Amino acid sequence: MTARPRPGFPARLDRSAVPARPGQKLPAAEGPRPLPAPPKRQQAHGVGLDSQAVRMRMVSKLAEQGITDTRVLQAMGAIERHRFVDSALANQAYEDTSLPIGLGQTISKPGVVSRMAELLLGGRPDKLGRVLEIGTGCGYQAAVLSLLASEVYSIERLRGLHEKARDNLRPLRLPNVHLLFGDGMAGFPEGAPYAAIIAAAGGGAVPQAWIDQLAVGGRLVAPVASASGAQQALMVIDRTAQGLRQTVLEAVHFVPLKSGIA
């Protein structure tokens, strides 16, 4: 069977990356790699948000909340969250709270980002392969995932946020992160199959397109709303050779999942 050609994007691609395929053994985890130093920014109101000590205090709190995967904790400590929020909110960047990023959307709280990343890894000793993120937002979660996966394809339906994420991520020069503008409900079949899929918005059900694009042995983590729509819970879907296995976990609160582009 002829291998499917790699999709092309406006963004620069890492042509040396090897896509994950069903049944393929992924390379051993190397741990989060050092990030290139982004341009210097002023400290926010003297708090010193560029200091690693500020992020390490956040990481310590995440560990106290039950995050145990050291790769996730290292990734959360490596990515500077204050660079992904408006300067007026920078002093709250390392609190465990969601923050507005414009267009009615939010950046997820660090506790939720780390929890979902840990669920995606599922205790596996190796690095994730190709990951699809539904809902780029400001780009923060994509940056975290870039340290845990060989490739991250992130799709955003709101052009304003897609452009904001591109601006936020450009200084980090992450060659394994590919930003897409489009309808996340449809996923991105050109890059399938995915070793993992993660969603930053919740609907009444997981779209079938996401299931179809998940590799055998892959895992999907997404918020799913109750029948009334009043509550959401994290759902984990594992695709095995025998079929799908679903697990419903704790209550969460995400923006609603919508179709189309704007």
Of the residues 98, 108, 114, 154, only one is catalytic, namely 108
Q: What is the DSSP letter of 36?
A: P
- Residue 10 confidence (pLDDT): 40
Mean pLDDT, the chain, rounded, equals 86
Interhelix angle 70-78/110-121, rounded to 10 degrees, is 140
> Has residue 9 got a pLDDT over 80?
no
Confirm if 256 and 202 have CB atoms less than 8 A apart: yes
* pLDDT 10s digits, 30-56: 445 556 555 444 444 334 566 789 999
Q: In sequence order, which residues have a C-beta less than 8 Å from that of residue 234 and are 6 or more positions away?
A: 115, 116, 119, 221, 222, 223, 224, 248, 249, 250, 252
Q: Which whole number is the average pLDDT over 151-174?
A: 98
Which pair of structure tokens corresponds to residue 27?
């390379």
> Has residue 63 got a pLDDT over 80?
yes
Q: In sequence order, which residues have a C-beta less than 8 Å from that of residue 112 and are 6 or more positions away?
A: 98, 252
42, 50, 190, 231, 257 from 39: Cα distances, Å? 10, 11, 34, 41, 34
Q: Which whole number is the average pLDDT over 180-189?
A: 98
**C-alpha to C-alpha distance for 216 and 238, rounded to whole angstroms:** 8
* Residue 108 a catalytic site member: yes
Least confident of 13-27, 107-121, 150-164, 190-204: 13-27
- Residue 230 confidence (pLDDT): 79
- Residue 121 confidence (pLDDT): 98
Domain boundaries, the chain: 102-252
Q: Which whole number is the average pLDDT over 104-114?
A: 97
- Residue 50 confidence (pLDDT): 66
- Residue 51 confidence (pLDDT): 76
pTM above 0.85, yes or no: no
Q: Which of 30-34, 189-193, 227-231 has the highest mean pLDDT?
A: 189-193
CATH second-level architecture of 102-252? Answer: 3-Layer(aba) Sandwich (3.40)
- Residue 37 confidence (pLDDT): 52
Please give the single-letter amino acid code of residue 116: M
pLDDT classification of 226: cutoffs 50, 70, 90: confident
- Residue 34 confidence (pLDDT): 52
Residue found by looking up tokens 């996340």 in the block: 184
Least confident of 20-24, 219-223, 248-252: 20-24
